[in-house]
Structure 1
Amino acid sequence: MRDLPNQFSLPRRISRLGQLAYNLWWVWNPEAQMLFTNINKSLWDAVNHNPVAFLHKVERRLLNAVTNDRYYLEFYDRVMKNFDSYLNAQDTWYATTYPNLSDKQVAYFSFEFGLHESLPVYAGGLGILAGDHLKEASDLGIPLVAIGFIYNKGYFVQHITEDGWQETRDLILDFDEMPVVPVLDKEGKPLMISVELPGRSVFARIWEVRVGRVMLYLLDTNLDENNNGDRQLTARLYSNDLDIRISQEILLGMGGVRALRLLGYHPDVWHMNEGHSAFLALERALELVRTGKTFDEATAIIEKTNVFTTHTPVPAGNDQFPIWLVDKYFAQVWPELGLTRDQFVNLGHQVQPWGETFCMPVLALKLSDYRNAVSELHGQVSRRMWNWIWPEKRPEEVPITHITNGVHTGTFLARRLRLLFDRYLGTDWMKRIDDPELWAQIANIPDGELWQVRRHLKRKLVVFANTRTRALWQSGSITPAQVVAGGLFLEPYSLTIGFARRFATYKRANLIFRDYDRLLRLITNYERPVQIVFAGKAHPADEPGKLLIQQVYRAVKDSKSGGRLVFLEDYDMNVARYLVQGVDVWLNTPRRPNEASGTSGMKAALNGVLNFSVLDGWWREGYNGKNGWAIGEDLPAQDAQQQDDADAESLYNTLENEIIPLYYENRTADNLPSEWVGRIKESMRTLAPMFSTRRMVKEYMTEMYESAMQADDD
């Protein structure tokens, strides 16, 4: 393992803070974060919880002060001991369960990784899931290495105008101020790979991110060796320019394989998180063809070790390219593979209403023996959607299974709840996250103590929204109406509902406004008030999504709501934590069955927030009638207008007749909503173990990785 940069000139007694800053283990270990906050909390918040930027900016006198603080030093020694024990552990789940597979390796490819707000190279749920997968693989000791991109302009910074329109600006990242390390060759120069694009080679350097025990390598084309256009290939996520998109996917798939080879890795399993990286299968086939094998012989080998996870239940949502573009970029590749043009095109060929395309998930499905959707219902949808690839099979026989998503407990669980669990679940409970018997002990937590923590977390959300809005108001960048819209009137004791996600039209952020007058009556009831907090971004090219934001924001600004509707702009992982920990109810209204899985509700449930959702994705599996509420019924999709009408009516009736009364009525003498707390406990007991990445990654290991590893020995 390469040495980490030593650039902070820290006092010798606390010099290992620099090492800790460059390993994202601190992301899911609150005590490690406290080593920084206890030096200067305001600076920690100001640098967006980025320890590298923090150590560059913190005053020397503050560092010197903690070296003379006995309590800080004892705390520091304990955290660093835990850090060392974690990194050097020999008794991990993987090591004890698979001692015969100790020399195996999994490679995980993803277009984005959401690990923490200090590394903003993610757009949404796909990236957060990928980040959680890496963290859990680290916790379990699975030998996994990952490949992605480092986007020097991030995703985008969102600002909502007074009229409710989403404006965007680039966030220019300074890699020297981030927990990333350049990978250098023996001469101290950036280690680089290249891929061939029409008429030129494109070069990419490699950056390293340490995620506990897991290494993540990120490719970067912003180099003098490339032309101006190619330097932008890793500038931002999800370009709509098809030339840029196919170039990015060639770089990720084919270039990613070359990067791992250059770094000395020889993975036994190759996991594609969505179709963006499917070209890795072609690069692996090329490697074997160059040794003398035919294409059919090569694919017979690589299929046994390829894993493909699909996340998209709508055909049009999958990456696909016109055939002429494939001709442009791969005319030199298919002869080397020993294929004709038609044979090559057939690897990803799909006929759409608008014409023939080369579809990335089709390529991944055809060249993988292990294929999965991300929830039970999504599995059913996927088998029907891709049945045409296996026309001889009935839909239920299509070889696509499902592994339902989960969330990384350590990352998203509030610190106060972690301390509460330490007292009542046992100090080793984090080692048994996926054990239902462990979570049955939730019943032992006194209702009053659990409710105190829930109230504390809601107060934190209110203070966060107020502080953020005050800063914007002081900057002169928003109007008085926007101050109200940003949460000025949020209260810590009113029933609070959260809705935060990507503003795609199928997620129906406006469903709750379908009967606007009825909604206003509900939220402005003086005796039983309701607050609804919205957050989320629309892709810059998604005009219908931006119109949805505008519709929601105009309702938020409406004085009739009395400030009980709020929109928190520039949604990121930091905002998400406050929301999934601080609201009382998590609202999700996708048009069924378009939500492949969803994970925000899992994070909310982990923190004692009750879900109120359409029976789509994960919630269809998680809902038991007592641990939250359902919107609509578990029935096949109907006409969109009818479905919207029926779901809206269900939403209003449940909110009016069940959720609001349960929160406000039947309180004990000390104002404790005992029935509500009982439902919180049922939610935690049933959902926390099932929808954790602990269960999810173990399933990937037992159902896919293990067989693929053994196939590699054949």
Structure 2
Amino acid sequence: MSQLTTTSTTAMQRLPKRLSRLGELAGNLLWSWRPASRELFSRLDPELWQQTEHNPVRLLEETENLEAAAEDAGFVAAYHEAISDLDRYLNRRNTWTDYVYPEARDSGGVAYFSAEFGLHESVPIYSGGLGVLAGDHVKSASDLGFPLVGVGILYAQGYFRQRLDSSGRQSEVYEPFEPESRPLAPALDEFGRPVTVGVNLPGRELRLKVWRVEVGRVSVLLLDADIPENTPEDRELTSRLYGGDNRTRITQEIVLGIGGVRALKRVGLTPAVYHMNEGHAAFLAIERMRELVAVGRSFEQAQEEVRRSTVFTTHTPVPAGHDAFTGDLLWEFMTGWPEALGTDGHSFWLLGAKEGDDRFNMTYLAMNLSRNTNAVSEIHGDVSTEMLGRRITYITNGVHTWSWLSSEMFSLFNENSLGRAWREAPETPSAWSFVEELPPESVWRTHEAAKRKMIDFINDRLDLQAERSGGKRQALDPDALVIGFARRFATYKRATLLLSDPERLKAITRAADRPVQFLFAGKAHPADEPGKAFLRDLYSAPEETGIIVLEDYDMNIARYLVQGVDVWMNNPRRPLEASGTSGQKAALNGIPNFSVLDGWWPEAYNGKNGWAIGEEREFASEAEQDAEDVASLYEILENDLVPLFFSRDNSGVPGGWVDFMKESIMTVAPRFSTQRMVQDYIHKLYSPGLYARR
């Protein structure tokens, strides 16, 4: 793919000669996981850096400090070091891939399709865990030097900003994306021209502009219908993530799957393997079949050829979560496609449905046209196998170490480890053995520093929230045990389970000299009224319960929470949590998990790195499960967790608690790194397609 500067013309024109490559630095999201580069932008204009939500392109467009920075010897020296780091990273030729899969560089690599990418808060085209996982997948592929390109959608209004009124009622605020002021740029073809592609909709063609985000060594292509070539109504089709009705949903999936394949071709890429991250991207398979039939393959040959070079990851453990369309809607949008594939309507229908089904299921389409289908944890693999009626393997999710490790913990590790093994190969368990020898007081003081930083940030946000809504004023207590719960507010995650016995809860949170607070954050889908009701119930809980609800959860808030709370709590209705990764981010920072044995936690829990809520068994009813789980939750808080946290030595250090912190890091950091996860994808799922291309 042709390269270009990914910073706006306005910003480029303002740069002093001595800082001429600042725009290049801003235009590659590598800075988002390089502490020195982030610090450089913050140093340039600390207040504006916060106001722009850590968007370096807007920072460079708006700051008045460029000339002064160019005369500051210290800033210029830091600038040159950041540029050198960027160059070293991009030009390195001794990566993991170079050693293990050297032939991958010339194979065409992997195209990774996802409806959302959580790359950074400055590119707000994500809603939650699926998108953040996709972003971490891309970053680790970059770190490993693996040839991968992401494909997604540029949502003109992103997901939404969440506002809570004085009663805790959620409202949604949508804001323009303004791509020109973000770290992305138009994708160009081989002649240096901006790329557009078209997809057919009923009675018309939809034109799509293609944008590119640089993420270290990896590019992500984003498709955008909000361009003058389209009607005002059609420009809205890619405006909101997970917005609109089924017509909007099928349109966005055509844009992602069919438009994405065409975009790759227009920028000159021919991937060896296509990876569908959820069924939203499954139409890519029929577009690839269409291309093969057009050059002489039969329907059956095209189907087999596509299957050999496609893999599919499912994240959804309940049937209702899989997109399915009625026949009327499907045929309205798929008119002419059976003929283009050299088959009839019935055979086309069976690509995404079983005989007799009345809906075309995107998960079936993805499975039927993939070599492999994988779930995202061991327990999710079992659930998916039973639900989908075929054996589903699994690759457990992980997190990108450098995006989620606090600067405080990074410094502690750096100062107390011999060599760079934990930095170069975080997926290696032995690389983290040094953590066991860390002085308990050093670990605790490091956590206290991250916690203070989080409390200052969260309390400022809570003050603004109260001023805006006229609601109650809340604040985190620096002396309290702070338990974090932050995720999408779907009802199966049971955010309100904690409120089952308010009087018992008050006794826990208000015990003398042992204050406990629960910090909740998360968005409910705009159409999810039960999820919104959970938010209201928590917001309205008595002050004595220690519950605080923070609005507008995003990646920025997530970093503060997973780096600064004392415990990470998760109590979904087992077995409905496919994987979950927020607890992995917390454990990486020495924050123990307090969780139901669902998703990834059964693979990590060992009795010394956190606490298990409830039991791994089937229940006669949801009511019985809730009663058993909440009883376990209260008992652990009362008898184990709270007493251990407040058991301090003469220096104020909770030695037993620090043992849990160390064990969390040593057991979770390597095994649940996306560096391990992406290597698993390469070894198990990508390599057959790469070798086939070769």
TM-score range normalised by the length of the shorter chain: over 0.9
| Structure 1 counterpart of 2:315 | 311
Q: Does the CA-based 8 Å contact 1:183-1:208 persist in structure 2? A: yes
Please say which of residues 226-235 and 408-417 is displaced more in the overlay.
226-235
Match 1:24 to one of 23, 29, 34: 29
**Structure 1 residue 504 and structure 2 residue 504: aligned?**
no
CA shift in 2, pair 1:215/1:188, >3 Å: closer
Q: Does the CA-based 8 Å contact 1:149-1:252 persist in structure 2? A: yes
SS of the residue corresponding to residue 106 of structure 2 reads coil
| Percent of residue pairs bearing the same amino acid type | 47
CA shift in 2, pair 1:324/1:453, >3 Å: same
Cα deviation digits, residues 645-688 of structure 1 (max 9, x gap): 000000000011000000012x2111110010011001111111
Query: Superposition pairs for residues 314-713 of structure 1, below 5 Å?
Result: 314-350=318-354, 356-387=358-389, 390=390, 398=391, 400-426=392-418, 428=420, 429-473=422-466, 476-479=467-470, 481-484=471-474, 487=475, 490-555=476-541, 558-561=542-545, 564-665=546-647, 667-713=648-694
CA shift in 2, pair 1:70/1:406, >3 Å: same
SS of the residue corresponding to residue 264 of structure 1 reads coil
**Which letter does structure 2 place at the counterpart of 1:491?**
D
| Structure 2 counterpart of 1:46 | 51
Match 1:76 to one of 79, 87, 95: 79
Structure 2 Cα separation of the partners of residues 294 and 187 of structure 1: 34
Shift of 1:188: 7.2
Query: Superposition pairs for residues 204-215 of structure 1, below 5 Å?
Result: 204-215=208-219
Structure 2 Cα separation of the partners of residues 669 and 318 of structure 1: 55
Shift of 1:711: 2.3
Q: Does the CA-based 8 Å contact 2:195-2:263 persist in structure 1? A: no
SS of the residue corresponding to residue 216 of structure 1 reads strand
Please say which of residues 569-578 and 462-471 is displaced more in the overlay.
462-471
CA shift in 2, pair 1:135/1:638, >3 Å: farther
Structure 2 Cα separation of the partners of residues 143 and 612 of structure 1: 37
Cα deviation digits, residues 492-529 of structure 1 (max 9, x gap): 12111000000000000000111111001111123211
Cα deviation digits, residues 53-94 of structure 1 (max 9, x gap): 1111111xx222232332222222222111100000011110
**Which letter does structure 2 place at the counterpart of 1:505?**
T
Q: Does the CA-based 8 Å contact 1:587-1:611 persist in structure 2? A: yes
Query: Superposition pairs for residues 99-114 of structure 1, below 5 Å?
Result: 99-104=102-107, 105-114=109-118
Shift of 1:614: 0.3
Shift of 1:101: 2.7
**Structure 1 residue 63 and structure 2 residue 50: aligned?**
no
Which runs of 5 or more residues in structure 1 are unaligned? 391-397
Shift of 1:179: 0.5
Q: Does the CA-based 8 Å contact 2:272-2:309 persist in structure 1? A: yes
Structure 1 Cα separation of the partners of residues 499 and 32 of structure 2: 37
Structure 2 Cα separation of the partners of residues 436 and 185 of structure 1: 43
Q: Does the CA-based 8 Å contact 1:455-1:492 persist in structure 2? A: no
Match 2:225 to one of 218, 221, 244: 221
Q: Does the CA-based 8 Å contact 1:350-1:359 persist in structure 2? A: no
Q: Does the CA-based 8 Å contact 1:155-1:171 persist in structure 2? A: no
Query: Superposition pairs for residues 115-130 of structure 1, below 5 Å?
Result: 115-130=119-134
Shift of 1:176: 1.7
SS of the residue corresponding to residue 602 of structure 1 reads helix
Structure 1 Cα separation of the partners of residues 162 and 693 of structure 2: 46
Q: Does the CA-based 8 Å contact 1:580-1:603 persist in structure 2? A: yes
SS of the residue corresponding to residue 605 of structure 1 reads helix
Shift of 1:185: 5.6
Structure 2 Cα separation of the partners of residues 92 and 570 of structure 1: 38
Q: Does the CA-based 8 Å contact 1:409-1:606 persist in structure 2? A: yes
CA shift in 2, pair 1:136/1:318, >3 Å: same
Structure 2 Cα separation of the partners of residues 679 and 171 of structure 1: 42
SS of the residue corresponding to residue 275 of structure 2 reads strand
**Structure 1 residue 246 and structure 2 residue 239: aligned?**
no
Structure 2 Cα separation of the partners of residues 712 and 301 of structure 1: 11
Structure 1 Cα separation of the partners of residues 299 and 256 of structure 2: 22
**Which letter does structure 2 place at the counterpart of 1:482?**
K
CA shift in 2, pair 1:579/1:351, >3 Å: farther
Structure 2 Cα separation of the partners of residues 403 and 675 of structure 1: 33
Structure 2 Cα separation of the partners of residues 153 and 262 of structure 1: 26
**Which letter does structure 2 place at the counterpart of 1:82?**
D
**Which letter does structure 1 place at the counterpart of 2:383?**
V
Structure 2 Cα separation of the partners of residues 298 and 14 of structure 1: 52
**Structure 1 residue 96 and structure 2 residue 99: aligned?**
yes
**Which letter does structure 2 place at the counterpart of 1:46?**
Q
Shift of 1:560: 3.5
Structure 1 Cα separation of the partners of residues 263 and 693 of structure 2: 21
Structure 2 Cα separation of the partners of residues 455 and 34 of structure 1: 21
Match 1:270 to one of 269, 274, 282: 274
| Structure 2 counterpart of 1:395 | none
Please say which of residues 68-77 and 457-466 is displaced more in the overlay.
68-77
Please say which of residues 333-342 and 670-679 is displaced more in the overlay.
333-342
Q: Does the CA-based 8 Å contact 2:188-2:267 persist in structure 1? A: no
Structure 1 Cα separation of the partners of residues 677 and 83 of structure 2: 29
RMSD: 1.5
Q: Does the CA-based 8 Å contact 2:105-2:146 persist in structure 1? A: no
Q: Does the CA-based 8 Å contact 1:87-1:213 persist in structure 2? A: yes
SS of the residue corresponding to residue 7 of structure 1 reads helix
Cα deviation digits, residues 188-209 of structure 1 (max 9, x gap): 7642100111111110001110
CA shift in 2, pair 1:637/1:216, >3 Å: farther
**Structure 1 residue 150 and structure 2 residue 160: aligned?**
no
Structure 2 Cα separation of the partners of residues 186 and 454 of structure 1: 50
SS of the residue corresponding to residue 102 of structure 1 reads helix
Structure 1 Cα separation of the partners of residues 419 and 502 of structure 2: 48
Q: Does the CA-based 8 Å contact 2:399-2:674 persist in structure 1? A: yes
Count of residues paired in the alignment: 687
**Structure 1 residue 288 and structure 2 residue 292: aligned?**
yes
Structure 2 Cα separation of the partners of residues 309 and 27 of structure 1: 26
Q: Does the CA-based 8 Å contact 1:197-1:329 persist in structure 2? A: yes
Shift of 1:258: 0.4
Shift of 1:431: 0.5
SS of the residue corresponding to residue 234 of structure 1 reads coil
Structure 2 Cα separation of the partners of residues 190 and 84 of structure 1: 26
Structure 2 Cα separation of the partners of residues 465 and 129 of structure 1: 24
**Structure 1 residue 131 and structure 2 residue 135: aligned?**
yes
Cα deviation digits, residues 77-122 of structure 1 (max 9, x gap): 2221111000000111101111233202110000000011111000
Structure 2 Cα separation of the partners of residues 117 and 410 of structure 1: 15
Q: Does the CA-based 8 Å contact 1:593-1:637 persist in structure 2? A: no
Which runs of 5 or more residues in structure 2 are unaligned? none
Shift of 1:186: 7.8
| Structure 2 counterpart of 1:394 | none
**Which letter does structure 1 place at the counterpart of 2:56?**
P
